Amino acid sequence: MAAAWLNLGQILKVNAKKFPRTVALKDERRAFTYPEVNRRVNRLAHRLLGLGLKPGDKIAVLLENSIEIVELYLATAKTGIVIVPINFRLISADVEYIAHHADAEAFVVHDDFLPTVDPIRPRLTRIPTDRWIVVGQRAEGYLPYEEWLAGAPETEPESAVRPEDPWILIYTSGTTGRPKGVVRTHESHIAFYLINAVDFGFNEHDVCMNVMPLCHINSTFFTFTFTYIGASVYIHPARSFRAEEILEIIARERITFISLIPTHYNLILNASPEARRHDRSSIRKLLCSSAPVRRKMKLDILEFFPGVQLYEAYGSTEAGIVTVLKPEHQMAKLGSIGFESLGTEFVRLLGPDKREVPVGEVGELYSRGPMLFREYYKDPEKTRASFHEGWFSAGDMARRDEDGFFTIVDRKDNMIITGGEHVYPSEVEEVVGSHECVFDCAVVGVPDEKWGERVTAVVIPRPGVDPRRITAEEILRCCRDRLAGYKRPKEVIFISPEEMPRTPTGKILHRVLKEKLRTPKR
């Protein structure tokens, strides 16, 4: 019988022999070759099994981006244990909810986050006292990670892991409510690594810089695509994003690929003149994902990184990458998210009656393919509600043009109904965000007794701009000739960058922003 595709942990053994001198993982302090990583991961795998953990058991992980969290992903892949990555920016109550809901039976935490974990530890009774591990400084009641690994066997662990077994239980960022536990299998990730190595043209000579948090699906996809094919990964801590630091690392480490969100690109494009002098010539490919990209930003990115191949991808924690806009289509299809990625079945746009909508009309986007998740953990009702005849929807609305290219209109939950008319915030944000004095913006519907909802633009001014140049009247003037009357903002509110609610990956939380502004106006 033919062997199944090797999962991430199994391929590490192969790459340790195939690429003995290649640096697999590097951060600001350390660098490990593939053989060194494999030996460390084997020791970790043996220690996890030595705790009594079995395939299918869950281990919660509260770490910033680090070599240690990558090792935990790899070790769980080798043992069949399911990793539950938790966002390190969450408060104690959120961490407790995820660890409890996930049925975690062990917990790994960095010493910086002990103030978050210690208050909830007594209530996480499913986790025995000898299954708490700390990375960094020693702490009472915790196994010290590095000392714990020392002396463990470096041989390959004996554990049967099937492609269809669960590997990651990752919780959504909660843009529309309580986080949901998304169960993803080994084979869904293998499909991603192989498909995207082809779709993006990656090879073993690439150097990927990881910036997105490794508690987020984007990083688990792209970081491990590179370790799967035997390339190098530079791991950035991700606690904060400083454009000057990112540009310095790109130059120093000769980074060839980086995946960022629009917020990150905005910061880079507005970096200081000194930072802009760093060499960027090593960058071959860039990805922009996780949120819509405005036309002007794409043009600015292409100017700032001359000769780069720019990709835009649309996907979700549940579906993986669904569509890709490739470099050759960037200029002709500005604003589009491309067409189906390799291996994805045709995307369907369905109307309220669940029938496909004609070309040019807006419908809810459904997809199906090998990267699809298995289920929402312990929530069969939500799992059923997100599928239609085997096709999955993340709740995004889109339209398809006559050439087969898709454009995201907005999330179904973000749609504004004003005076009986439907307004998609992203369309208004495109216009408001094009103003030269606007750094970022969001558009939401605020309750209004006359119209039901009034279109409200929340604007972050560009740093250093004279306040006299960016007024509500100026924003409204910008919209006057480019938007129908019912789509134009009825109100403009200016805020600071810190006041804009976002997910850990930088997506604007329209739901939270809307709640902040819920003051009925006569």
Nearest Cα residue to 13 out of 150, 220, 157, 152 = 157
Nearest Cα residue to 509 out of 207, 290, 305 = 290
> What's the pLDDT score for residue 417?
77
Task: State the CB neighbour count (10 A cutoff) for residue 150.
Answer: 10
| Cβ atoms 464, 489 nearer than 8 A | no
State the angle between helix axes of 262-269 and 295-304 in degrees (0 to 180), rounded to the nearest 10: 50
> What's the pLDDT score for residue 279?
96
> What's the pLDDT score for residue 1?
33
Spatial neighbors of 443 by CB under 8 A, at least 6 apart, are 416, 425, 426, 428, 429, 432, 455, 456, 457, 458, 489
Distance of alpha carbon 308 from alpha carbon 288, whole angstroms: 13
Helix or strand (DSSP H, E) at 376: strand 375-376
> How would residue 263 be classed by pLDDT, with cut points 50, 70 and 90?
confident
Per-residue pLDDT tens digits for 53-68: 999 999 999 999 999 9
Distance of alpha carbon 393 from alpha carbon 260, whole angstroms: 24
Residue owning tokens 């009656």: 353
What is the pairing mode between strands 416-418 and 421-423?
antiparallel
pLDDT (average), residues 309-318: 92
Res 522 pLDDT > 70: no
The least confident of 177-181, 208-212, 216-220, 403-407 is 177-181
> How would residue 4 be classed by pLDDT, with cut points 50, 70 and 90?
low
pLDDT (average), residues 281-303: 86
Distance of alpha carbon 394 from alpha carbon 397, whole angstroms: 9
> How would residue 2 be classed by pLDDT, with cut points 50, 70 and 90?
very low
Query: CA of 419: how far to CAs of 250, 362, 412, 484, 487, in Å?
Result: 50, 19, 18, 13, 11
> What's the pLDDT score for residue 167?
98
Task: State the CB neighbour count (10 A cutoff) for residue 384.
Answer: 11
Highest mean pLDDT among 35-39, 333-337, 443-447: 35-39
Under DSSP, the state recorded for 328 is G
Spatial neighbors of 59 by CB under 8 A, at least 6 apart, are 48, 53, 72, 76, 81, 82, 83, 84, 104, 105, 106, 107, 108
> What's the pLDDT score for residue 7?
94
> What's the pLDDT score for residue 176?
46
| Ramachandran angles phi, psi of 193, nearest 5° | -60, -45
Highest mean pLDDT among 65-79, 418-432, 461-475: 65-79
> What's the pLDDT score for residue 261?
83
| Cβ atoms 107, 133 nearer than 8 A | yes
pLDDT (average), residues 315-340: 90
> How would residue 453 be classed by pLDDT, with cut points 50, 70 and 90?
confident
pLDDT (average), residues 399-422: 82
Nearest Cα residue to 339 out of 407, 257, 281, 280 = 407
| Cβ atoms 261, 291 nearer than 8 A | yes
Res 505 pLDDT > 70: no
> How would residue 262 be classed by pLDDT, with cut points 50, 70 and 90?
confident
> How would residue 251 be classed by pLDDT, with cut points 50, 70 and 90?
very high
> How would residue 372 be classed by pLDDT, with cut points 50, 70 and 90?
very high
Between 412 and 10, the higher pLDDT residue: 10
Residues, the chain, total? 522
> How would residue 492 be classed by pLDDT, with cut points 50, 70 and 90?
very high
Distance of alpha carbon 47 from alpha carbon 162, whole angstroms: 21
> What's the pLDDT score for residue 130?
96
pLDDT (average), residues 195-208: 95
pLDDT (average), residues 159-178: 82
Per-residue pLDDT tens digits for 97-137: 999 999 999 999 999 999 999 999 999 999 999 999 999 99
> Mean pLDDT of all residues in the chain?
91
> What's the pLDDT score for residue 295?
76
